[in-house]
Amino acid sequence: MSSFFIKKRVISAAVNKGDLKRKSNADDGKGRSKKFNKRADEEISSDSENERAEPSRKQPDNEDDEIEETPQEKKLRLAKLYLDQLREEEDKKAEEESFEADLIAGRLQDDLLEQKGKLQRLIAKDLIAPDPEEVRLLRGHKLSVTCLVITPDEKYIFSASKDCSIIKWEAESGKKMHRIAGGRKGTEERHVGHTAHVLCMAISSDGKYLASGDMNKLIMIWDPVTCKHVYKFLGHRGAVSGLAFRRGTHTLYSASHDRSIKVWSVDENAYVETLFGHQDMITGLDCLSRERCVTAGGRDRTVRVWKIAEESQLVFHGHEGSIDCVQLINEEHMVTGGDDGSISIWTVNKKKPVSTVKKAHGSHGNTGLEQPYWVSSVAALHNSDTVASGASGSHNSAVQLWKCGQGFRGLEPLFSIPVTGFVNSLKFSNSGKFLVAGVGQEHRLGRWWRIKEAKNGLYIIPLKRQAKEQEVVQ
């Protein structure tokens, strides 16, 4: 067998064939000479022991006089060497597998905690406000930016606008990579793209599909790499106001002003089902990896959790006005904002908010007639203690970052970034390295008033940290 020939230690460099066949007169009867047995005994002990035991022994002058081991003994020795090498390789492999198993076990534990909504990375205490010159403004839309998404690899940002266009940006350089132009009303049959205000977007967790919804009841599916049109979904009877892909799948949830939620299979280019329950137009939608989604019901003042498989829903009450935005923090907690100026944190186990901050962005108007600034967008850094909110106003528009307290029982302000205009959309990058705000002169859902001094564009806000380490609470 070739596997036996690994590393040989040759006892004799030159042995004559005649010497190998030579036998001693004093044979032990087993085919081995006493001289060879004596040599074998010498090899068991160390050289130093041999010297102390037999100081007068002389080493043979001629190596030709030494006799090599028999073929059977050589095979046995090489077999032992081969087995030892295999044992070492198996031990090394076992150590590597044990290390990989520990990594996998840790990852599975994090996934389990994430599924239960108990994974909370405490990073808010390390965040520090960026310098004003570090905040970048990307301009390219003619009208208000209404929504945005960040690709999973954080290399690109997609933004959409009331000008019906979608722009792909390179996040690091701010360079405009591609523009999907909007078309005029009435050109739907020949124009590839939107011909009405784009209100919402979503991107799948693997970056394969980009979805966009507009005021014209349409959902468009795009290839984010080439920006080529893939599918068009029809079925809603009102403006499409919310979109979200279920994480790890190509199942798409859509919400509409027609008060319904629809489920789509993008891979199969197919409609799945429709869910009803809201009493007013739906203003926002979000989901994570579970087979369920959350929605904000506008002026019906409810937040609803839709359990798709069970075909049931949970209804939550808390805001004093229209609930205009909702985002999941983890599988068990969510944050909402509304035109009553408040921000609320919810848990799916309680029908009322766990914590609420009223007049989160202050108020305006004469004494006695003060009105809180409208919270027009919220965002959450998933599985962390950090959320953000955006307000709308000519003098006090800002992006505010918040720290969620232990058990999400409180909200503490961290710092704010002044921004002029309606903050219509907020998104954290997956790693939490930056936050993107989509800003416009008008609110994304209407034209109640216009802030002329605002700039339609994207603000990229870097999130600097004091320490690199992240503490995890289970």
* Domain extent listing, the chain: 36-41+68-116, 120-473
| Dihedral sign from CA coordinates of 99, 104, 105, 106 | positive
Mean pLDDT for back-to-back runs of 10 residues, the chain (474 residues): 40 39 42 42 42 44 58 84 88 78 63 59 90 94 96 97 96 96 85 94 97 96 96 96 97 97 97 95 95 94 94 93 94 94 94 93 73 92 95 75 91 92 94 95 84 92 76 50
Gap between the Cα atoms of 132 and 418, Å rounded? 9
Kindly give, in sequence order, each residue whose CB lies less than 8 Å from that of residue 307, ignoring residues fewer than 6 positions away.
Answer: 291, 292, 313, 314
Q: CATH number for the 120-473 domain, one of 1.10.10.10, 1.10.3720.10, 3.90.1580.10, 2.130.10.10?
A: 2.130.10.10
340 touches 387 (CB < 8 A): no
Single-letter amino acid code for the residue at 419: V
Single-letter amino acid code for the residue at 56: S
Residue 353: predicted pLDDT: 95
260 touches 275 (CB < 8 A): yes
Residue 79: predicted pLDDT: 87
What are 325-363's pLDDT values in tens digits? 999 999 999 999 999 999 999 999 899 999 999 999 988
372 touches 324 (CB < 8 A): no
